[in-house]
Amino acid sequence: MHADEALALLDQLLPGYTFSNLQETVFSQVWEGKTYAEIAESCGYDHSYIRDVGFRLWQSLSESLNQKVSKSNIRAVVERYARHQSLPAAMVSAPEPAAASVLPDWELPNGPVPLTSQLYIERPPIETQTMAALLRPGSLIRLKAPRQMGKTSLLRRLVAHGQGHQMRCVTLSLHRADRQTFADLDRFLRWFCANISYQLGLEADLNRCWNRDIGSKVSCTAYLEDAVLAQVDTPLVIALDEVNELFQYPELASEFLPLLRSWYEEARESEPWSRIRWILAHATEVYAPLQLHQSPFNVGLAIRLPSFTLEQVQELAHRHRLPWAEGHDGAENLLSLLRVVSSRPGLVRLALYALAQGNTSLEQFLEEAPTQSGIYGDHLRELLAALYPHPDLQLALRWVFEAAEPVALEPITAYRLENLGLIDLYKNLATPSCELYRQYFLAFLPLPSSAAYG
């Protein structure tokens, strides 16, 4: 059996599964007996990245076929199905979808893209760069982008990449910390250490290392050295998501962030500290009084996640099986969509998911999108509620949305609106991040009572 025949059989066995172009290449060349190193050389990718693509591919096929699939047994698995001409037990009673444009039971796009999803769109060379950096001792990767841009989806793939290379991994989302956690430095550092120990399965005996006389920062450092690094002899990934939560507490940020920078620099001289790989994901620039030599935001690998390109949106539409999005005419159709929702991954995913259900036309979708009854209704109301207690932000946002030219905003205001994903900043000038937000908020933001702006 040739590789293309094997892929055709898998298409028949798994009608809801869609291979990306790179996955097809990896599958076909593995089928022909090539090693990951040979595939990487022929495709121009990093060896570790191709290995990770393969790892995720076999993991997805294992779940879809209800049996263990690996690089070494994929031929045997597929040829066995070919001999018996039978479907996996879980699919025997599942008829093939009647309409190709209707999605199978794929996940609702209301959060990070699951690791096993076929709907994750790579944005080269970001995945290659970050996954290669993660393998370097003492590395630090910074992911910066507003909401709805896929920071957490990429962060989770980096963590999975680390796990695939036998690294221990810890993920801390600062959104999940109680508000009291940010009350003072000591409480925050104890939360930080306790959560790392919990995720690693270590006893969190903080009092053994904590000493009021030497201070919270030295105590925390000693704890990581004596209670964590001394017991974990493999590389360790520590991923901090939603770091921008710290920025609301300038005093805490100005203490913790330089401490984080010092741990990163310690890796140059200390083997235990070099085992840590840091990942920081945040929505905006830090707005805390940090010296250049104290900030962790001017070291390591900086990645600013871009919006999708038209080609990437078209690929995602193809995976949703939307025939009207194919080819040159399809690209024109998608442009009419992107003019409203922009190319932000989160907004695009929700749009294509809704359109793939077949219950609405593109024209109807675009008409309803900026309204309370549209698919973005909950998202828009959540943003409006976030603005409600802040008349100054409402006024500034209306000014940006009404202006014919980019607007200069006061720095803290610009920071807070960018954090919500409502504006884009170029240098010091703000513009609406998308037409969807502009139409909705001009309809619901209160009219200014005085000429505070303009």
Count of structural domains, the chain: 4
Q: Could you tell me if residue 253 is inside a domain?
A: yes
pLDDT of residue 76: 80
In the numeric block, which tokens belong to residue 4?
């293309």
* C-alpha to C-alpha distance for 324 and 346, rounded to whole angstroms: 21
Same domain? 145 vs 244: yes
Same domain? 327 vs 283: no
pLDDT of residue 293: 63
- CATH number of domain containing 265: 3.40.50.300
Same domain? 216 vs 327: no
Per-residue pLDDT of the chain (454 residues; tens, 9 = 90+): 777 778 777 777 776 667 776 788 888 888 888 888 788 777 766 676 777 788 878 877 887 777 788 888 888 888 777 766 544 443 333 333 333 334 455 567 878 998 888 899 999 999 999 999 999 999 999 999 988 899 999 999 999 999 999 999 999 999 889 999 999 999 999 999 999 999 999 998 899 899 999 999 999 999 999 999 999 999 999 999 999 889 889 899 999 999 999 999 999 999 999 999 999 999 876 555 556 567 887 889 999 999 999 999 999 999 999 999 999 999 999 999 999 999 999 999 999 999 998 888 999 999 999 999 999 999 999 999 989 999 999 999 999 999 999 999 998 899 889 888 899 988 889 999 999 999 999 999 987 754 445 4
For residue 403, what are the domain limits?
379-444
Question: Where does residue 207 rank: exposed (0-12), middle (13-18), buried (19+ CB within 10 A)?
Answer: exposed
In the sheet that holds 140-144, the strands lie side by side as 168-173, 236-241, 276-282, 140-144, 301-304
pLDDT of residue 158: 96
pLDDT of residue 32: 84
* C-alpha to C-alpha distance for 10 and 19, rounded to whole angstroms: 10
Q: Could you tell me if residue 118 is inside a domain?
A: no
> How long a stretch of residues is the chain?
454
Same domain? 238 vs 289: yes
Beta bridge partners of 429: 408, 426
Last residue of a domain, one of 304, 329, 354: 304
Same domain? 315 vs 297: no
Same domain? 158 vs 286: yes
Q: Could you tell me if residue 114 is inside a domain?
A: no
Do 263 and 273 meet the contact criterion of CB atoms below 8 Å apart? Answer: yes
Same domain? 323 vs 291: no
3-state secondary structure (DSSP) of residue 182: helix
Same domain? 173 vs 278: yes
pLDDT of residue 131: 95
Same domain? 165 vs 222: yes
Q: Could you tell me if residue 201 is inside a domain?
A: yes
Q: Could you tell me if residue 100 is inside a domain?
A: no
Q: What is the CA radius of gyration of the chain?
A: 24
Same domain? 146 vs 294: yes
Same domain? 175 vs 295: yes
Kindly report the pTM of this predicted structure: 0.75
Q: Could you tell me if residue 104 is inside a domain?
A: no
Amino acid (1-letter code) at residue 335:
L
Last residue of a domain, one of 304, 335, 350: 304
Same domain? 130 vs 159: yes
pLDDT of residue 451: 46
Last residue of a domain, one of 284, 304, 324: 304
Q: Which residue is it, tokens 């000038």?
A: 429
For residue 424, what is the enclosing H or E element? strand 423-426
* C-alpha to C-alpha distance for 275 and 167, rounded to whole angstroms: 9
SS (H, E, C) 1-46: CCHHHHHHHHHHHCCCCCCCHHHHHHHHHHHCCCCHHHHHHHHCCC
pLDDT of residue 16: 62
pLDDT of residue 271: 96
Q: Could you tell me if residue 101 is inside a domain?
A: no
Q: Could you tell me if residue 106 is inside a domain?
A: no
